[in-house]
Structure 1
Amino acid sequence: MVLRFSGFELDPERAELRSPDGGTIKLRPKTLEMLRLFAANPGRVLSKQQLMEAVWPNVHVGEDSLFQCIREIRTALGDDKRQVVRVISGRGYLFQADVTDTAAPAPEGNATAALPPHVEPVPQTDANREPARRRFDVSLRSSAALAAAAVLVILGAALTLVMVRPGLIFARGATTIAVMPMTDAGNDPLVAQMAAEVSGRLTDGLAKIENIRVLAPETGAAKADFVVKGELQKSEQAWTIRTRMTEAATGEVKWTASYSVDLTDTDLPMQQSRLAAGVGHALAVRVNELLNADASSAAKSKVVIEQATAHIKQTSPERFQAAQAMLEKALAEDPDNVEVQVALAALLMRGVQMVWLSGPEREAAEIKAEAMLQQTLRAKPNYIPAHEAYCRFLNATNQFRASLVACAKALSFDPWNGIALYHVGLAQIQTGRFEDALATFMQAERFDTPQVSRWTWKIGAGWANMLMGRAEDAVPWLLKSIAITSASGRTHMLLAAAYQQLGRTEEARAAMQKGMELRPGSTYRNVPTPKKNSSPVYIEATERIMQLMVAAGLPAS
């Protein structure tokens, strides 16, 4: 079926958009899929949620990914005045164009692009009704197949969660937060507009958190458990936002934070995203701490965890063993301390991933880490560090689909969690969904929280580009990752492969030599990640990268 509108031709079979002059317009796969959905349903308002669930099924993505696709569609169609892809305030988007197709009607009905069976269309009222020339219409056979697949996905996700804790899927809690409009200290209209945008993004993000409710600022301050207020300032170099959260009943300050974003490194939408994420991430973590507070063990665990973390900042097997001994001793003294359990489980998985453990040691570490994390999740089913660690554990043990569920759970308590997003991207990579992975890493980049982990999604973006054969795009991301954390041998080895593909052989050998210094004993056989549960697409792309590494100087055995 070739869809024609405004002189353009959209050929889903060939994944092409052709301009009125016959030329091919290059679009990313997700952007092309969204345009196909619009063109198959002109005159119908599609909500943001419908679009996101249709284009990114069963994947957690933020609205920034949606907005990027919308921008690319408008650019491709020359829709500068936003008359083709229209915003319907408070409802979603409308594709306003006459659409025809060259395909004959299917025997069982019009085979138009449809939303997933679990997504209900937005009710059409007289206020937003547009003449629809095409409608969502799926054959009974297709509907049954899609519905069955959806049921299997839901049952699989539920089964995975129930194995951890039968009550892990729970209703939204009663804790309420009111976010007051951010103020502008200098009465500058530009700053005031920026403050309003940041307030909106912060409120939208908090509203996604599973166990809190966000109240409207007009009436919420008097009814909320917590009230968040903030002030935005602009200097020549940066935006700075200062926020605080108080307990409404007592007026006690429960949290304060200050966050700055450089004016020169990013565009305005990213500045808004990072300001909201910078305070939003810290706020989500603080609220989660308050709701999971355990005063009896917090003070004891904090010191030992900080000491153990300090030991592994300089990554080496010896530092790993010293940190493990500290945490093992602390856990022996306080077996029910969930903070130490999570820290030890995360440390053990780091040892597995860094190949610091032998075969039997690795297996024992995986069993022990999983047992501790499941115990923690039973004790505290909405505790962010436990979900984040379990998400990482499932990825490290090649349980990629279960990892996507666990990572989504972590994001349901902290939508700005860059670590969870990074691991979503890793699972997408291993399952062969490279474009989705790149979009996830880019979302983490837009949030840039927590900053201590920013090197991870940068190497992720470089890796995703390499898997798609885009060495030129991969190099800047890998260099940025190395500039932040230069101690990762894997990053240097990926950079060597990228340079080798680009014909920059001297730089490739230098990068590989640095990688070998950081990971002595590395060979073609032990550098790749285990292939268990990995997609054939991923395995094939990895083999191509490994051959480039060998050409750059990685020993074959």
Structure 2
Amino acid sequence: MSHDPSAQVVALGDALLDLTRGTLIRGGRFVPLRSKSFRVLCELARKSGRVVTKEELFDAVWPGITVTEDSLTQAVRDIRRSLGDDGQRLLRTVARRGFILCPDSPADPAPPPYAPPTEPRPRIAVLPLIDRTGDPHWAPLVEGLAEEVTNGLARFRNLTVVARHSAFAAAREGWPLAEIGRRLHARYVVDGTARLSDGHVRLTLALNDPASGEVLWGDSFDAGETGWRGLRDLAPQRIVARLFTSVEEAGYRSSLRQGTHDLTAFEHLAHGKALFRRFEPGVNERALRHFAAAIAADPSLGVAQSYHALADLALHDYALAPLAVKQRAKDRAMQGVEISPDESRCRSILGYCHAQLAEFDAAEREASRAMELNPCDADAVFGLAIVLVWRGDSETALAWIDRAKDMNPLWPAYYDTLHSEALLFAGRYEDAARAFRRLPHLSAAQEMRLAATLALAGDLDPARHHAARARAAKPDWDFVGKAREALANRAGRDLDHLVRGIELALALVDDP
């Protein structure tokens, strides 16, 4: 049957290629396909039913670049694998000439039936807030907030954010959330209201799963009396960070309901990050496997490369990792940046890897770049704090840690790990001890650092208790030597400070 080359949705067996939306759907799932391979498929689809020469494909997909035929051969192989076209029924090779794409009958241009999408990067739509302030002055400001949230979420490169125009147009139609989700192909929809209470603007927002009708997250925010400035600052600092964290948590919960082989790249990434934040024995190995699976599912997901590097360091106890492991982690983190140069977490993790190698200028440059790329990312703010602590500037770092915690009120345990160290090095021993005690699990090294903190504070009985626990956990360890090894690349006097505390705590055990 002939095919209309002008059709925007092309049927290829059990797959649908939508040239307008730039998607390939097969079996109700979005199929990940590398950029060049997808462009080859689109070029063939636009000229379907006739032979497209190799020269035409090279000119269209690799203009002005000299590449070998291997690049085209690999793209064709990717396309056939994605379409399940082992028999070359859909994409045929014409010897010594080129290729011909033979679609089925024209597909209905209407979008496919709505179901929870399973694309590698979940789509989220931010609807305009319902203005219940009763004051026309606030109407454009409330509408502007939704746009700020949309722009803030778009900075997270492993999310696909529906354009503001489409989201606002869908809201104006008055459709229920399920219909909005179907029309926009959105896995998540954000809605909310704005009210005035005692002169303050009070915002209530919710993250919804339109397919199930479930509210995944909801919270209220008080913008105070500062008008647009308060709303503008509130969006990047609090709302966006909370929304993104909630999307990741939803991805993790979704991954628990599926077999490992059914997970998307985003779900593997979310699952790996959730494991990575637990600070429990054996979780880093499992997290590393999920990051590797995310890379295999979507090689263009640079942030998965970055977290793989971080998990590799974690498996080797971070600062105690051999030099070869630190270099390997930096190389992989650099690969993440090469893939996703505008992803803040890729920059932040590369900065951390530089710091592990005492490359502090490069570390601070990458950490600062991460914050420029996404000031809504609490982990990027925290990444700068890490570099500052390692440079010996704990006082400045503490302000950034407080800011990261304010942006991410459900912060992971590793925030407290750095916070406790920065407080210790800044001489705020009581606050440092409280931060250490918030950690869900204390390693032997952390037990000894808590003991050192308490000893420096003059709190001798608890210091003796924790030093004894650390020694019981690692009876063969030279804790002073381990501290010197762990902080060998740190700047400033932090190492001397910590060693003095450890020696005081050990003396309490040796001479009770």
**Structure 1 length-normalised TM:** 0.47
Alignment partner of 1:550 is 2:512 = no
Partner of 1:461: 419
Distance 2:484 2:203 in 1: 42
Pair 363,317 (structure 1): closer, same or farther in 2 beyond 3 Å? farther
Structure 2 runs not aligned, ≥5 long: 1-123, 158-163, 170-183, 249-260
Aligned to 2:336: 376
Task: Deviation per CA, 1:278-337: give whole Å up to 9, x if none.
Answer: 42125578999xxxxxxxx99543454456556656646654445545655775787666
Look up the match of 1:69: none
Instruction: Return closer, same or farther for 1:497/1:261 CA change in 2, 3 Å cut-off.
Output: farther
Q: Post-superposition shift, 1:469?
A: 2.1
Residue 313 of structure 2: aligned partner: 349
By how many angstroms is 1:399 displaced? 2.4
Structure 1 letter corresponding to 2:430? E
Tell me the amino acid that sits aligned with residue 537 of structure 1.
R
Matched, 1:434 2:397: no
- 1:342 partner letter: S
Deviations 1:402-456 (A, max 9, x none): 222212222223323332222322221222222211111121222235x242x33
Q: Map of 1:209-358 to 2, 5 A cutoff?
A: 230-231=192-193, 241-243=204-206, 258-260=217-219, 277-282=237-242, 300-305=264-269, 308=272, 315=279, 318-324=282-288, 338=302, 340-354=304-318
The aligned residue for residue 503 of structure 1 is 458
* Secondary structure in 2 matching 1:231: strand
Counterpart contact for 2:238–2:406, Cα < 8 Å: no
Once the two structures are TM-superposed, the CA of residue 551 in structure 1 deviates from its matched residue by 3.9
Map of 1:382-531 to 2, 5 A cutoff?
382-448=342-408, 451-453=410-412, 455-479=413-437, 481-482=438-439, 485-515=440-470, 522=477, 523-528=479-484, 530-531=486-487
CA contact (8 A) 1:261 1:274 kept: no
Give 1:257 shift: 6.9
Give me the whole-angstrom Cα distance separating, in 2, the residues matched to 1:456 and 1:333. Answer: 28
Q: In structure 2, what is the Cα distance between the partners aligned to 1:209 and 1:303?
A: 19
Contact persistence 1:492–1:514 (CA under 8 A): yes
C-alpha deviation, 1:375, in angstroms? 2.2
**How far 1:466 moved relative to its partner?**
2.0
Indicate if the aligned counterparts of 2:483 and 2:495 stay in contact, CA closer than 8 A: no
Q: Which range moved further: 390-399 or 439-448?
A: 390-399
Amino acid at match of 2:354: L
The offset of 1:526, in angstroms, is 0.7
CA distance in 2, matches of 1:554, 1:452: 38
Contact 1:512 1:554 in 2 (8 A): no
Map of 2:102 onto structure 1: none
Equivalent residue of 2:358, what SS? coil
Q: Distance in 2 between matches of 1:201 and 1:458?
A: 33
When residues 386 and 489 of structure 1 are mapped into structure 2, their CA distance, relative to the original with a 3 A threshold, is: same
CA distance change for structure 1 residues 229 and 322 in 2, over 3 Å: closer, same or farther?
Answer: closer
String of CA shifts for 1:332-390, please: whole Å, max 9, x gaps.
78766645423321210212335785xxxx33433332222222222221123422322
Q: How big is each residue's C-alpha offset from its partner over 1:258-287, in whole Å with a ceiling of 9 and x where there is no partner?
A: 443799xxx999x99888644212557899
SS in 2 for 1:503: coil
SS at match of 1:536: coil
Matches within 5 A, 1:108-127: none
Counterparts in 2 of 1:336 and 1:206: CA distance versus 1, 3 Å: closer
Q: Structure 2 vs 1, CA of residues 339 and 299 (structure 1 numbering), >3 Å: closer, same or farther?
A: farther
Identity of aligned residues (%): 17
Conserved in 2, the CA contact under 8 Å of 1:179 and 1:199? no
Change in CA separation of 1:383 and 1:426 when aligned onto 2, cut-off 3 Å = closer
Structure 1 residue 508 displacement after superposition: 1.4
Instruction: Tell me by how many angstroms 1:463 deviates.
Output: 2.4
Distance across 2 between alignment mates of 1:280 and 1:380:
20
Superimposed CA distance per residue, residues 58-101 of structure 1 (whole angstroms, 9 cap, x where no aligned partner):
xxxxxxxxxxxxxxxxxxxxxxxxxxxxxxxxxxxxxxxxxxxx
Matched residue of 2:483: which SS? coil
CA distance in structure 2 between the partners assigned to 1:554 and 1:367 by the alignment: 39
Question: Judging changes above 3 Å, is the alpha-carbon distance between structure 1 residues 277 and 412 closer, same or farther for their aligned structure 2 residues?
Answer: same
Residues of 1 paired with 2:465 and 2:234: CA distance? 35
Distance 1:452 1:364 in 2: 31
Q: For the structure 1 residues 185 and 369, does the alpha-carbon distance in structure 2 shift closer, same or farther, using more than 3 Å as the test?
A: same
Give the corresponding residue for 1:538.
494
**Residue aligned with 1:525, SS:** helix
Separation (CA, whole Å) in 2 of partners of 1:307 and 1:243: 23
CA shift for structure 1 position 186:
8.7
* Cα distance in structure 1, aligned partners of 2:190 and 2:293: 39
**Do 1:274 and 1:447's aligned partners in 2 also have CA atoms closer than 8 Å?**
no
Q: How far apart, CA to CA, are the structure 1 residues paired with 2:385 and 2:134? A: 41
2: CA distance between counterparts of 1:477 and 1:467? Answer: 13
- Asked whether the 8 Å contact 1:524–1:550 carries over to 2, the reply is no
2:308 maps to a residue whose letter is: L
1:242 deviates by 1.0
Q: CA 1:352/1:367 → structure 2, altered by over 3 Å: closer, same or farther? A: same
For residues 341 and 230 of structure 1, the distance between their equivalents in structure 2, rounded to whole angstroms, comes to: 35
Q: Where in structure 1 are there 5+ consecutive unaligned residues? A: 1-176, 212-216, 246-251, 289-296
Distance 2:356 2:399 in 1: 21
Taking the aligned partners of 1:399 and 1:201, their CA distance within structure 2 comes to 38
Residues 552 and 277 (structure 1), Cα distance of their counterparts in 2 relative to 1, 3 Å cut: farther
Does the 8 Å CA contact 1:441/1:457 hold for their aligned counterparts? yes
Q: Given that residues 207 and 218 in structure 2 are in contact (C-alpha distance below 8 angstroms), is that contact kept between their aligned partners in structure 1? A: no
Aligned residues: 343
User: Does structure 2 conserve the Cα–Cα contact (< 8 Å) formed by 1:466 and 1:474?
Assistant: yes
- TM-score, normalising length from structure 2? 0.50
SS at match of 1:527: helix
| Residues 466 and 375 of structure 1: CA distance in aligned 2, closer, same or farther (over 3 Å) | closer
Letter in 2 for 1:503: G
1:331–1:530 distance in 2 versus 1, CA, 3 Å: same
Distance in 1, matches of 2:155 and 2:268, equals 30
Give yes or no for contact 1:206–1:284 (8 Å, CA) kept in 2: no
Instruction: Please provide the CA RMSD for this pair.
Output: 5.7
